[in-house]
Amino acid sequence: MPADITADSVLSLILEHQIIESAEPVTASTDLFALGMDSMAMMQLLLHIEDRFGIAITPGDMTRDHFATASAMAQLLAEKRT
């Protein structure tokens, strides 16, 4: 069964796989692009999202708004799961 989708679970995935590295604390509302999220990091994250949550992300879903924060990603994933 796929993992529960919460902002904390998305954040945990990002930190666990070192998608973003920061000397500052990263929270569910931290702007990930300000910390260096780029297209390569987004692609790496997509693979982990599909593996952990069992949800495929379409190219149309790959927007700055959807990937700006762990909270925004969790909302997108929760909507796609329903």
Domains of the chain by start residue, with CATH: 7-81 (1.10.1200.10)
Question: What value does the mean pLDDT take over residues 9-29?
Answer: 93
Confidence of residue 77 (pLDDT cuts 50, 70, 90): very high
Paired tokens of 55: 């949800």
Q: What is the mean pLDDT of the chain?
A: 92
Per DSSP, the residues of 10-64 read HHHHHHHTTSS--SS---TTS-TTTTT--HHHHHHHHHHHHHHH--PPPGGG--H
- Quick check: pTM over 0.75? yes
Question: Residue 81: pLDDT above 90?
Answer: no
Question: What value does the mean pLDDT take over residues 41-70?
Answer: 94
